[in-house]
């Protein structure tokens, strides 16, 4: 099949990334204008790094009209925590760290222990406590619709009740780009400016904008062990089972989460260019490959779909 | 042949982004078609495909690509909300965002939602049944929402023995219908979603069809002109006050809704009517020589005006009269009936104002869009015509001239729900 060339003179006003960027900026500005107390949730991962750049594009030369908040499980990669502090300081913006350890110390939640435990689930309490404490009425997040099936149906402005719950049956229709950010006291909206981006879009944008990423995104030598077909960091926060022998190999991370549930992939891709090439050619989804939180419930496809897996 | 995106990973796709709404009635094969589209353009990761293979085997069926897209059947069985789902895919030539609209009769609001942002719509028709009531509704909504291009996928051609006569008959019906509804650009493609003919790969079984496969048509649609030559409409989202002296003066941040803004343009801020000249069109990456929709920019004026969110910058001499009363076609999405006298909030561009629905003049037939009196007002999923009075004046254009400048939503401030999508048909001061 031969493809007819597209007349460049009749080309689009803007490229696909420019269109996604313009949409993201518009969303952030709408939110800032319509909600009094937003916060940007920053994980140190590539998606939230893109959010910070979009915020710069939306609000410079002014200050961000919201603080940046990290929910720190205490089991985060040290490289990512260091990156977080440096990046937010460079931007001159305000960082709030909501600590899962502090929630445990305060008796708000019980810590988990054992080889397969993860503090990933505990984050919710800490997040909701922080939202209540700071009276945030909107949280900006870096979730994308291509990550999992439930997200594909989630609005860009997504209402949460006082318990942080999302009711897929009670979503507001989202028509044109006329977003509805209204909330009642105690409720908040989650806002996802990069809803329509794919993993590859994010990587392309990182490359185009020359954004710095935490070093764990690039191939590095690390002591790891194998569990359920995934490679986990050999670190005191993860208890190994008998037979789970650590070994050193070259890996990189595809997502950045709590160390206890984020797996590494074997890779020699040390530069952004190499990583993007590898991602573009990869045949496994980001979550399927490296996120134990998504794999845990993988009993049957039907179940996963109910839970919103792809 | 379509290849994976691996060929040019870092490059941005200069052919841009196309937003496509897909809709069909239950069992027309939409899930299969979308699965086929994703599969044949190599968007499906191995782990996803493995699962589909497993489940298909367990059920003793051939590879069921519909499983990839969580079809309506599955949603019903599993009690998942039937709602618009957004999916991305790309070919070497274009990046697509699909708004997958469940086509059930009750879900007019889903289709309106999906069509509102769409540059193109793909409607499914079962070749055995031809144009049915659902097809008429879908086409009517694409006409109403002014989706610029419509592609009708005549599916299950394998079940009518690849009969070119049957296809021609359906295509004729579609064209006639499109004409009465005022759909300007419509084309039909004979496909088999199940077997993959004319979806991504051209078929050898349709010698009587000389057009390209569905995806090629989508790739070749003229990029949506965002009306760069139309009159400027720049709704101000917020005012940026730079940090410190060095930052300079105020910026008016927003997204160009219509037309083009350039440094040196004489502009008027509405509703105040104050005038100024554009000193710069800025982005974080520097100043632009011009910006058209849908770019997000910041505008610096040669003097500081008293401008705030909701105001609109227009070219001096090309500004519309202020709107205090408007007539519109709406899709009602509220659980409770809309009746004359309803007090709601109206959001148009970046302005949200109180509004009264003074009259519900007509209820529209969902298939023909013909109006009839509406003594009971409008119910959920009804289309109708209304007259609305607004508390603060709007800077609006008819929807037929500009989707961005002619669209609004209604919000019930008791529940905060978005209860209607509105398209302005005429305005008065
Ligand atoms: N023979 C044939 N069957 C098809 C075709 N497309 C879909 N089907 C079948 O039609 C039924 C409904 O398809 P599905 O994609 O679930 O429809 P949806 O309800 O529109 O999502 C399934 O049994 C499909 O296998 C086709 O092109 N040819």
Best B112, B199, B237 member to test A by mutation, with max A CBs in 10 Å, is B237
B308 pLDDT higher than 90: yes
Yes or no, beta carbons of B216 and A1 under 8 Å apart: yes
How far does the CA of residue B376 sit from the closest CA of chain A (Å)?
A: 23
Distance CA B43, CA B20 (A): 17
Closest CB to A198: pick one of B88, B117, B253: B88
Which domains does chain A show, CATH number per domain? 16-201+300-306 (3.40.50.620), 214-294 (no CATH)
- In CATH, what is the architecture of B323-428? Beta Barrel (2.40)
How far does the CA of residue A26 sit from the closest CA of chain B (Å)?
A: 6
Instruction: For residue range B163-209, list pLDDT tens digits in order.
Output: 999 999 999 999 999 999 999 899 999 999 999 999 999 999 999 99
Name the closest-CA residue to atom 14, ligand 1. Answer: B29
Buried b (16+ CB within 10 A) or exposed e, A158-182: bbbeeebeeeeeebbbbbbbbbbbb
Q: Which residues line ligand 1 (CB under 6 A)?
A: B 24, 26-32, 66, 71-73, 155-156, 158-159, 192-194
Quick one: closest CA in A to B118, which residue?
A176
The DSSP secondary structure of A38-107, one letter per residue, reads EEEE--SSHHHHHHHHHHHHHHTTS--SS-EEEEE-S-S-HHHHHHHHHHHHHHT--EEEEEHHHHHHTT
How far does the CA of residue B291 sit from the closest CA of chain A (Å)?
A: 9
Best A10, A11, A13 member to test B by mutation, with max B CBs in 10 Å, is A13
Provide mean pLDDT across the span B13-23: 84
Domain with CATH 2.40.30.10 in chain B: 234-315, 323-428
Structure tokens at A302: 């039907």
Best B244, B253, B330 member to test A by mutation, with max A CBs in 10 Å, is B253
Yes or no, beta carbons of A15 and B13 under 8 Å apart: yes
B60 pLDDT higher than 60: yes
Q: Please report the beta strands in B227-350, taking only residues with DSSP state E, as ranges in sequence order.
A: 234-240, 251-255, 260-261, 266-270, 274-283, 286-288, 291-292, 296-301, 312-315, 323-332, 343-348
For B234-315, give the CATH class: mainly beta
Own/partner long-range contacts of A103-110 (Cβ < 8 Å, ≥24 apart): A103/A129
pLDDT, residue A136, reads 96
pLDDT, residue A306, reads 31
CATH of domain B17-220: 3.40.50.300
Give the ipTM of the model, two decimals please: 0.93
- pTM > 0.90: yes
For ligand 1, mutation pick of B105, B167, B193, B205 (most atoms within 8 Å of CB): B193
Provide mean pLDDT across the span A7-33: 82
pLDDT band at B68 (very low <50, low <70, confident <90, very high): confident
pLDDT, residue B106, reads 61
DSSP state letter for A123: H
The minimum-distance atom of ligand 1 relative to the CA of B192 is 27
Give the Å distance between the CA of B28 and the centre of ligand 1. 6
Provide mean pLDDT across the span B325-329: 98
């Amino acid at each position: 099949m031969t493809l007819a060339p597209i007349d460049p003179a009749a080309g689009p006003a803007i490229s696909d990334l420019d269109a996604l960027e313009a949409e993201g900026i518009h969303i952030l500005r709408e939110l800032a204008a319509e909600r009094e107390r937003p916060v940007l949730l920053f994980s140190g991962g590539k998606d939230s790094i893109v959010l910070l750049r979009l915020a710069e594009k939306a609000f410079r030369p002014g200050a961000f009209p919201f603080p940046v908040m990290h929910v720190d499980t205490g089991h985060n990669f040290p490289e990512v925590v260091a990156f977080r502090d440096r990046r937010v300081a460079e931007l001159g913006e305000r960082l709030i760290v909501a600590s899962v350890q502090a929630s445990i110390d305060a008796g708000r939640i019980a810590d988990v222990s054992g080889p397969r435990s993860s503090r990933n689930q505990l984050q919710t309490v800490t997040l909701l406590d922080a939202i209540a404490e700071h009276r945030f009425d909107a949280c900006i997040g870096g979730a994308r619709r291509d990550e999992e099936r439930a997200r594909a149906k989630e609005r860009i402005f997504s209402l949460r009740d006082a318990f942080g719950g999302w009711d897929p049956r009670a979503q507001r229709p989202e028509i044109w780009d006329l977003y509805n950010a209204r909330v009642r006291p105690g409720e908040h909206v989650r806002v996802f400016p990069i809803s329509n981006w794919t993993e590859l879009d994010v990587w392309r944008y990182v490359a185009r904008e020359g954004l710095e990423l935490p070093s764990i995104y690039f191939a590095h030598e690390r002591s790891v062990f194998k569990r359920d077909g995934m490679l986990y960091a050999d670190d005191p926060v993860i208890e190994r089972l008998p037979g789970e022998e650590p070994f050193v190999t070259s890996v990189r991370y595809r997502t950045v989460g709590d160390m206890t549930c984020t797996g590494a992939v074997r890779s020699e891709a040390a530069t952004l260019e190499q990583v993007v090439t590898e991602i573009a050619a990869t045949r496994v989804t980001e979550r399927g490959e490296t996120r134990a939180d998504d794999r845990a419930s993988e009993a049957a496809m039907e179940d996963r779909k109910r839970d919103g897996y792809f | 042949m379509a290849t994976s995106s691996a060929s040019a990973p870092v490059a941005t796709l200069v052919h841009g982004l196309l937003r496509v709404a897909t809709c069909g009635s239950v069992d027309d094969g939409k899930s299969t078609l979308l699965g086929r589209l994703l599969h044949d353009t190599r968007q499906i990761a191995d782990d996803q495909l493995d699962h589909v293979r497993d489940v298909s085997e367990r059920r003793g069926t051939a590879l069921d690509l519909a499983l990839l897209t969580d079809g309506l059947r599955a949603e019903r069985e599993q009690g998942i909300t039937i709602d618009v789902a957004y999916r991305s895919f790309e070919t070497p030539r274009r990046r697509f965002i699909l708004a997958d609209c469940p086509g059930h009769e009750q879900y007019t609001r889903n289709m309106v939602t999906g069509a509102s942002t769409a540059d193109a719509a793909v409607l499914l028709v079962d070749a055995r049944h031809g144009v049915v009531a659902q097809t008429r509704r879908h086409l009517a909504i694409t006409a109403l929402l002014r989706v610029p291009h419509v592609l009708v996928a005549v599916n299950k051609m394998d079940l009518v023995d690849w009969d070119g006569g049957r296809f021609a008959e359906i295509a004729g019906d579609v064209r006639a219908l499109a004409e009465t509804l005022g759909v300007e650009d419509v084309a039909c493609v004979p496909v088999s979603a199940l077997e993959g003919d004319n979806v991504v790969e051209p078929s050898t079984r349709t010698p009587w069809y000389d057009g390209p496969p569905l995806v090629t048509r989508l790739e070749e649609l003229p990029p949506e002109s965002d009306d760069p030559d139309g009159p400027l409409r720049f709704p101000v989202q917020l005012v940026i006050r730079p940090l410190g002296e060095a930052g300079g003066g105020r910026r008016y941040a927003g997204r160009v809704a219509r037309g083009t803004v350039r440094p040196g343009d004489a502009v008027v801020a509405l509703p105040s009517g104050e005038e100024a000249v554009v000193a710069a069109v800025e982005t974080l990456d520097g100043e632009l020589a011009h910006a058209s929709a849908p770019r997000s920019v910041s505008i610096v004026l040669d003097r500081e005006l008293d401008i705030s969110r909701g105001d609109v910058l227009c070219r001096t001499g090309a500004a519309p009269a202020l709107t205090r009363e408007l007539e519109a076609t709406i899709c009602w999405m509220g659980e409770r009936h809309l009746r004359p006298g309803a007090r709601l909030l109206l959001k148009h561009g970046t302005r949200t104002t109180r509004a009264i629905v003074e009259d519900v003049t007509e209820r529209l037939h969902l298939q023909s869009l013909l109006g009839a009196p509406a003594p009971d007002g409008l119910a959920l999923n009804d289309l109708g015509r209304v007259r609305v009075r607004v508390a603060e004046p709007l800077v609006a254009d008819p929807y037929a001239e500009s989707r961005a400048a002619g669209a609004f939503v209604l919000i019930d401030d008791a529940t905060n729900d978005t209860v209607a999508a509105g398209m302005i048909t005429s305005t008065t001061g």
